[in-house]
Amino acid sequence: MKTQVCIIGGGPSGLLIAQLLHLKGIETILLEKHTREYVLSRIRAGVLEHGFAALMREAQCGERMDREGEIHEGFFIAHDDRLDRMDLHKHSGGNSVLVYGQTELTRDLYEARERLHGAVIHNVEDVRLHDLESASPHVTYSVGGATERIDCDYVVGADGFHGVSRKSIPADVLKEHEKIYPFGWLGILSRTKPVSPELIYAKHERGFALCSLRSQVLSRYYIQVPLSDAVEDWSDEAFWAELKRRLPSQVAQQMITGPSIEKSIAPLRSFVAEPMRYGNLFLAGDAAHIVPPTGARGLNSAASDIYYLYHAMLAHYQRGDDSGLNGYSAKALKRIWKAQRFSWWMTTLLHTFPDNSSYDKRLQQTELDYLLSSEAAQRSLAENYVGLPF
């Protein structure tokens, strides 16, 4: 087989760039390790920057998002048995975020690929990238025991942290930066009315908590837990009891509880790989960077990669201009590191760190006090939360 762009990974990053390029007449083939059903079973974040929402509309995938997604113009920080609201709309010049589950977003992208008869090959194994430094790279893979080959101009590696794409960059070229946090998030999904119309980020001496939602009948809640904990250690009843302890009494009293329909623990890490281009391979999304979910930057950081890469490929194929491709890694990483900074700051501000000294704890409290008392600090938070310009 031959195509212009071979995309590794059938998550939202790979599907989005495939859709955008297809609409401009650029040929793509997308390879995905798992089944479509498996991809759509994964529960992920759902806070979209206004720039990401605009990119979905450009990809002709925004109709259901605009119809069912919820516009949020702020969120709450819970502390000391009280709530303080961060007014994103006011402090960001009128911007907001859109709450729309990643699973639903991915479903919309898959349906768009079907409508356009885009090539998506599932259940691929033993994916290997070849001749990346040449003008004629190719990808091999196996399906049902048969080995296949795709010749292409470019390879987009959107296959996540554990994928083959980043691992195809030589060790003497690739530099990785990583920070592991000493805790994880235990999250549950429940068919219950959300306790708040806007997200609540809770800072508490027992640990961080987050009240989120997917819709008006589907809630997503999290609590900070030690890395040594397992899902089996937490019954639904124990989870709800601990969550209520970490929330202001006025919120806890209003909470509607119910059986979980999904429960998992996610460790927190910050990770960046540099460069994001090697020859004719371009990394995007989790293949190149991971952030703690505290600042809602993960999916949105992937979207900025896709924005830069999409426009760079358009310039190449439509005008013969390679400046965007040549500058992709530096441009993408500049925004990625800003997202890393914001996610690290939000995580540091709101979580309980087991090894913090009394000095660290007082400084953390002072940082929160400053945020709540300073319009300048709130403007900085809002600017980052709604999304920095692409």
Long-range contacts of 310-319 (CB under 8 A, 24+ apart): 310/17, 310/20, 310/21, 313/5, 313/21, 313/26, 313/154, 314/24, 314/26, 317/4, 317/24, 317/26, 318/24
How high is the pLDDT of residue 46?
A: 82
pLDDT at 343 over 90: yes
Range with the poorest average pLDDT among 117-121, 200-204, 236-240: 117-121
How high is the pLDDT of residue 145?
A: 87
- Tokens 């439509």 correspond to 318
The mean pLDDT of 195-210, rounded to a whole number, is 97
Distance CA 257, CA 187 (A): 14
Identify the bridge partners of residue 76 per DSSP, sorted by sequence position. 85, 200
How high is the pLDDT of residue 42?
A: 73
How high is the pLDDT of residue 41?
A: 78
- pLDDT band for position 45 (50/70/90)? low
The mean pLDDT of 150-156, rounded to a whole number, is 98
Q: How many CB atoms lie within 10 A of CB 231?
A: 14
Using a pLDDT cut of 90, give the percent of the chain over it.
Answer: 92
Superfamily (CATH) of domain 5-71+95-178+269-348: FAD/NAD(P)-binding domain (3.50.50.60)
Strands (E), the chain: 5-8, 28-31, 47-48, 70-72, 74-79, 82-87, 97-99, 119-121, 125-130, 138-143, 146-151, 154-157, 175-190, 200-202, 209-215, 218-225, 260-274, 277-278, 281-283, 289-290
Q: How many CB atoms lie within 10 A of CB 90?
A: 15
Range with the poorest average pLDDT among 34-38, 194-198, 237-241, 349-353: 34-38
- The residue extents of the domains of the chain are 5-71+95-178+269-348, 181-268+353-386
The mean pLDDT of 223-232, rounded to a whole number, is 97
Tell me: the pLDDT tens digits for 3-21?
999 999 999 999 999 999 9
Tell me: the pLDDT tens digits for 263-313?
999 999 999 999 999 999 999 999 999 999 998 898 999 999 999 999 999
pLDDT at 44 over 80: no
Tell me: the pLDDT tens digits for 86-106?
999 999 999 999 999 888 999
Structure tokens at 177: 């930066």
> Per-residue b/e over 101-113, b at no fewer than 16 CB within 10 Å?
bbbbbbbbbbebb
pLDDT at 210 over 80: yes
Q: What is the dihedral of CA 246, 251, 253, 254, to 10 degrees?
A: -140
Identify the bridge partners of residue 8 per DSSP, sorted by sequence position. 31, 157
Identify the bridge partners of residue 290 per DSSP, sorted by sequence position. 271
Tell me, yes or no, if the two domains 5-71+95-178+269-348 and 181-268+353-386 fold the same way.
Answer: no
The mean pLDDT of 113-128, rounded to a whole number, is 94
CA 177 to chain centroid: 18
How high is the pLDDT of residue 43?
A: 64
Pairing of β 218-225 and β 281-283: unpaired
Superfamily (CATH) of domain 181-268+353-386: D-Amino Acid Oxidase, subunit A, domain 2 (3.30.9.10)
